[in-house]
Amino acid sequence: MEAYLDNSATTPICPEAFNAVTEALTSNWGNPSSLYRKGIEAEAVRESARRSLAGRLGCESGEVFFTSGGTESNNIAVLGAAEAQKRFGRRIIVSSVEHASIDEAVKFLETRGFEIIRLPVDSQGRVPEDRIFRAVNQGTILVSLMAVNNEVGTLQPLEAVRQAVVSSRSRALIHCDAVQAFGKIDVKPSAMGVDLMSVSAHKIHGPKGAGALYVRGGLKKEKNGVRVLPVMYGGTQESSLRPGTEPMPAIAGFGAAVNALPPVSASLERINLLRQRLVCGLETVDGIEFNSPPDALPYVTNISVVGYESENLINFLSERGIYVSSGSACGKGKKSRVLKNMGLGDDRVSSALRISLSRYTAPEHIDMLIYGLRDARNFLRTKK
């Protein structure tokens, strides 16, 4: 038996998504932009997937635009919104613990003369609400804050962002990276006061290569719509926001994975029980420090095995068929920026492990990890 516990990096594809991908590869392989029957059939699959995603997000189909994944969605949202909004100001606000696809995008904008405000987080990885209110002013054009942190599971105060924008009378757009939240908690952008939202297929047991960006109002097709400029050119697909032939097998799988998602409440109840088992087991292992806050999304638990290098622990566990990570897959080989910004010392950062669960995680997988960590402490040398 293997224990795959790195579901924040990617998830195993569910049978429904696998079957949809296979059909799109072998039978319904037309280009959805073609006008003949094969194209029309592919278009029907694409629009069915769009409707499924819109239904889960509680929005209109015309507000959903397919991309290649969360990174591209984040880049389009940040770069496209900044370009469209720059006539109103130059201030962009993000947290200091955003995903690399946000962090690198705003670094680029900084070289183009935009003012980037990086809000610090507290020891729980959360942005203090008063910092948000102090940072947002009338010159703010974009606030981007993730719903759930991908390394420690902290939920961010998105409601405070909307309140700050309204109270400052700013024309700022609000973008939410919901890649780690979608399918695990209810994320309804309109109810959350969010203008732009990024989601991804392979975090919900869909295929890699498909994601989506919610755009309120569908690119100003409605009076209250949002203006976002494209960052790529060369076609009219996805209303020219994301040009290029759509990856139909991935999109078909995305739609099927969305349809296969169980109710959020039932999943959370089960995951909470698994997390309780995990926490109780970890508390029996000497030297474990918890980096995730107690109220983190239960799908993600970040710990440090103080005195042991993360890489050595990961390799030791991997040899036993137990798979965890030291942080974001996009930050491979680098020390966690998230943990450092939470104020953790080098000993905690260098020995950190991220354990992330999914609906396919079983109690036996949790037990394998606990036994594996106990063995690791007995067999591995502590760092000097």
Quick check: is 277 in a domain? yes
Quick check: is 210 in a domain? yes
What separation in angstroms does the CA of 186 have from each of 56, 193, 208, 271?
8, 14, 22, 15
Q: Are residues 112 and 77 part of one domain?
A: yes
Quick check: is 36 in a domain? yes
Q: Are residues 41 and 140 part of one domain?
A: yes
Quick check: is 188 in a domain? yes
Whole-number pLDDT of residue 37: 86
Tokens of 374: 């106990």
User: Percent of the chain scored above 70 by pLDDT?
Assistant: 96
Q: Are residues 215 and 73 part of one domain?
A: yes
How many CA atoms does the CB half-sphere of 76 hold within 13 Å? 31
More confident residue, 235 or 315: 315
- pTM reported for the whole predicted model: 0.94
Are 4 and 10 in contact by the 8 Å Cβ rule? The answer is no
The Cα–Cα gap between 10 and 30 comes to 28
Cβ partners under 8 Å of residue 336, min gap 6: 151, 326, 327, 328, 349, 352
Mean pLDDT computed over 40-48: 92
Q: Are residues 292 and 224 part of one domain?
A: no
Whole-number pLDDT of residue 332: 57
Quick check: is 99 in a domain? yes
Q: What is the mean pLDDT of the chain?
A: 94
Are 349 and 340 in contact by the 8 Å Cβ rule? The answer is yes
pLDDT digits (tens, 9 = 90+) for 207-264: 999 999 999 998 765 556 788 999 989 988 888 799 998 999 999 999 999 999 999 9
Active-site option among 14, 59, 280, 330: 330
Mean pLDDT computed over 37-62: 94
Q: Are residues 150 and 66 part of one domain?
A: yes
Whole-number pLDDT of residue 330: 55
Q: Are residues 184 and 311 part of one domain?
A: no
Are 94 and 145 in contact by the 8 Å Cβ rule? The answer is yes
Whole-number pLDDT of residue 226: 87
Quick check: is 384 in a domain? no
Full domain range(s) for residue 335: 3-11+262-379
- Could you say which of 217, 243, 260 is where a domain stops? 260
Q: Name which of 178-182, 188-192, 255-259, 325-329 the model is least confident about.
A: 325-329
Q: Are residues 266 and 359 part of one domain?
A: yes
Which CATH number covers residue 190?
Answer: 3.40.640.10
Q: For the chain, give the secondary structure using H, E and C.
A: CCEECECCCCCCCCHHHHHHHHHHHHCCCCCCCCCCHHHHHHHHHHHHHHHHHHHHHCCCHHHEEEECCHHHHHHHHHHHHHHHHCCCCCEEEEECCCCHHHHHHHHHHHHCCCEEEEECCCCCCCCCHHHHHHHCCCCEEEEECCCECCCCCCECCHHHHHHHHHHHCCCCEEEEECCCCECCECCCHHHHCCCEEEEECCCCCCCCCCEEEEECHHHHCCCCCCCCCCCCCCCCHHHHCCCCCCCHHHHHHHHHHHHHCCCHHHHHHHHHHHHHHHHHHHCCCCCEEECCCCCCCCCEEEEEECCCCHHHHHHHHHCCCEECECCCHHHCCCCCHHHHHCCCCHHHHHCEEEEECCCCCCHHHHHHHHHHHHHHHHHCCCCC
Q: Are residues 238 and 281 part of one domain?
A: no
Q: Are residues 252 and 275 part of one domain?
A: no
| Total number of domains in the chain | 2
Quick check: is 226 in a domain? yes
- Could you say which of 233, 260, 287 is where a domain stops? 260
Q: Are residues 328 and 274 part of one domain?
A: yes
pLDDT digits (tens, 9 = 90+) for 55-106: 999 999 999 999 999 999 999 999 999 999 999 999 999 999 999 999 999 9
- Could you say which of 260, 277, 310 is where a domain stops? 260
The Cα–Cα gap between 143 and 81 comes to 10
Whole-number pLDDT of residue 384: 44
Q: In one letter, which amino acid is 36?
A: Y
Task: For the chain, state the CA radius of gyration.
Answer: 21
Quick check: is 82 in a domain? yes
Closest CA to 229 of 38, 83, 74: 83
Does the active-site annotation cover 330?
yes
pLDDT digits (tens, 9 = 90+) for 318-377: 999 999 998 665 555 578 999 999 999 999 999 999 999 999 999 999 999 999 999 999
Whole-number pLDDT of residue 328: 61
Q: What are the two backbone dihedrals, phi and then psi, of residue 242, each rounded to the nearest 5 degrees? A: -135, 80
Q: Are residues 226 and 270 part of one domain?
A: no
Which CATH number covers residue 306?
Answer: 3.90.1150.10
Instruction: Name the pLDDT band for 194 (thresholds 50, 70, 90).
Output: very high
Q: Are residues 281 and 134 part of one domain?
A: no
Mean pLDDT computed over 1-29: 96
